[in-house]
Amino acid sequence: MSISDENVILRAEDICMVFPGTKALDHVTYKVYQGAVNVIIGENGAGKSTLMKIISGVQSPTHGQLYLKGEKVHITGPRSAAQHGIGMVHQELNLSENLTVAENLFLGREQQKGISPIDERHQNTIAKQTMARLKQNIAPNELVANLKVGQKQLVEIAKSLIADVDILILDEPTSALSKKEVQVLFEVINDLTQQGVSIVYISHRLEELMEIGQYITILRDGKFQSEAMVKDIDVAWIVREMLGSEPVTNFLTADRSFGEVVLQASHINLINEAEVTLVDDVSFSLRAGEIVGIYGLMGAGRTELFECLLGKERFSGEFTLDKQKVNTHMSTSERIKMGLGLVPEDRKQSGIFPISSVANNLSMSSLWKRLKGLAINEVSEKEAVTKTIDELSIKVSSPQVEIQALSGGNQQKVVIGRALLTEPKVLLLDEPTRGIDIGAKGDVFEMMVKLSEQGIGILFSTSDLKEIMAVSDRILVMSNGKLTADLMRDETNESQLVHASAQGF
């Protein structure tokens, strides 16, 4: 497959990026083609974001060189990237909700001199022109807070356009958009490429890439994997290139046996305050000793489904836990006592008690199990803590150490230990391997298998195809709040899962 090099506007040559302990990028050479949509794809940790951060000036590479239109350039920061015509729209929007569209567009580069007031008329005119370029009829003095998510995304793009970009990097721009908003965004992208802007497009949604992309680059484990014209390839090829041909590690033994159904979900619906359906008529079951993985992209509704099970979300439908119904208005503590254990997705935000000791972190959910009269039975608590630290091989100098001093993997083990001490029948793990290193990932998987062999039903979620294939007995796929597949692992493959993860729209 040969692609002519004449249209290359930006070439990143032989880029290496070394972080303490890991090599995020390993001699990667990457090309951006002029006036085209350049798709870049890879699994989590493949190095996409690091590469984009280098191009947009957020980080400097350990080794390597950038060439813009054939000339060497040194990009020292986001400002210098902007001067070279490179702009980036991050996945999380960086808008000030309390300011107007025009004020946001000109934030940090207000049209004003000395102590004269800001030239709002001029700003508004330019803002209006820019929005017109995006075919949007958004008033420049509209508050950003009043805009829909899709419109905010476009305001972000407008912000880059005002700075005269040649290369616009879009990091997962569609993860929060509705189908219709995605179409609007695609039209905008097509217009922009016709105006000569080169787009770098990062996304996990393969079907989308096939629709919008012209060139595709695949990274794997920090290395350049392959490059192709999108018209020459198909989804199966992408999955193959992305995951590699080496067999997936299997943590499960051949003879797995399951017990009774412990968790039954029927017709779960969740609609948020903005009347967006987050979980859409989801039904499934989980048996004792079974590991069920939920695969889905960001925003597919996995976390929301977990929140229905253990959080405060007011869902409709019915959960049955070990033949007992779970009501909407049951408190979290009642659900924990019934036998649900949760390991939340964002460990820092909702998992650990950072300045509390490892011991207190472990025993917090199960204090009701260790009462002597009204007081905590310290002997039994100490025993439980020591036993859990041993069993989960948590590496800690003393149970009294503050948990924030531990590594991510060990913190995660503590959070899992906390859920286990409540002796759950069903353990929910939301993205259990997020932000922990490969060794600790293996530990967590082995722990999951061990627990399932003790008869605990395990439901976990991930957006990593390799992980889901490594450790699930059965795989559910969620997309746009809907359940789009319920497959035994032996009877499926990665392409099928990717396909199902785009079906919910």
Partner 1 sequence: MNIKNNNHVLRSGNLGLILLKMRTFIALFIILGFFSLTVDGFLAPASLIIMIKHISINAFLALGITFVIITAGIDLSIGATLGFCGMVAGYLISHGLVIEPLGIAIFPSVWVVVPVVIIIGGFIGAINGFIITRYKVAPFICTLGTMYIIRGAAMLLSGGETFAGLQGNPELGNTGFDAIGSGYLFGLPIAIWLMFIMAGVIAYIAKKLPFGRHVYAIGDNEKAAELSGIKVNNVKVWVYTIAGICAAIAGIVVTSQLVASHPATGTTFEMNAIAAVVLGGTSLAGGRGTITGTLIGAFVIGILADGLVMMGVSEFWQMVIKGVVIIIAVIIDQMQNKMQYKAAIGSQKAVC
Nearer to partner 1, 69 or 395 (CB): 395
Q: Least distance in Å: CB of 144 to partner 1?
A: 24
Nearer to partner 1, 272 or 386 (CB): 386
Nearer to partner 1, 267 or 395 (CB): 395
Residues of this chain that interact with partner 1 (CB under 8 A) are: 310-312, 331-333, 335-337, 342, 344, 349-356, 360, 363-365, 367-368, 371, 374-376, 386, 389-390, 394-399, 401-402, 404-407, 418, 422
CA 272-330-344 angle, 5° bins: 65
Closest CA to 179 of 197, 145, 205: 205
Nearer to partner 1, 290 or 345 (CB): 345
The Cα–Cα gap between 202 and 213 comes to 10
Q: Least distance in Å: CB of 165 to partner 1?
A: 38
Nearer to partner 1, 290 or 304 (CB): 304
Residues 6+ apart with CB under 8 A from 378: none
Q: Name the burial class of residue 257, with classes exposed (0-12), middle (13-18) and buried (19+) by CB atoms within 10 angstroms of its CB.
A: exposed
Which strand ranges, in their side-by-side order, compose the sheet holding 71-73? 22-33, 8-19, 63-68, 71-73
Q: Name the burial class of residue 1, with classes exposed (0-12), middle (13-18) and buried (19+) by CB atoms within 10 angstroms of its CB.
A: exposed
The DSSP code sequence of 478-497 is EETTEEEEEEEGGG--HHHH
Displacement of CA 357 from its chain's centroid (Å): 29
Q: Least distance in Å: CB of 341 to partner 1?
A: 10
CA 326-332-335 angle, 5° bins: 40
Q: Least distance in Å: CB of 421 to partner 1?
A: 11
H or E element, residue 419:
helix 408-420
Q: Name the burial class of residue 390, with classes exposed (0-12), middle (13-18) and buried (19+) by CB atoms within 10 angstroms of its CB.
A: exposed
What is the amino acid identity at position 128? Answer: K
Nearer to partner 1, 254 or 375 (CB): 375
Q: Least distance in Å: CB of 447 to partner 1?
A: 17
Q: Least distance in Å: CB of 346 to partner 1?
A: 9
Nearer to partner 1, 192 or 310 (CB): 310
Nearer to partner 1, 262 or 336 (CB): 336
Residues present in the chain in total: 505
Q: What are phi and psi of 90, to 5 degrees?
A: -80, 160
Q: Least distance in Å: CB of 168 to partner 1?
A: 35
Nearer to partner 1, 63 or 387 (CB): 387
Instruction: Give start and end residues of each alpha helix (H) in 173-269.
Output: 179-194, 206-212, 235-243
Packing angle between helix 408-420 and helix 378-391, nearest 10 degrees? Answer: 130
Q: Are 131 and 90 in contact (CB under 8 A)?
A: no
Nearer to partner 1, 77 or 354 (CB): 354
The Cα–Cα gap between 27 and 18 comes to 11
Closest CA to 166 of 131, 192, 136, 127: 192
Q: Least distance in Å: CB of 310 to partner 1?
A: 7
The Cα–Cα gap between 261 and 156 comes to 48
Q: Least distance in Å: CB of 418 to partner 1?
A: 7
Q: Least distance in Å: CB of 370 to partner 1?
A: 9
Q: Least distance in Å: CB of 149 to partner 1?
A: 23
Nearer to partner 1, 49 or 365 (CB): 365
Cα end-to-end span (Å), the chain = 33
Q: Name the burial class of residue 275, with classes exposed (0-12), middle (13-18) and buried (19+) by CB atoms within 10 angstroms of its CB.
A: exposed
Q: Least distance in Å: CB of 390 to partner 1?
A: 7
Nearer to partner 1, 154 or 392 (CB): 392
Q: What are phi and psi of 68, to 5 degrees?
A: -110, 120
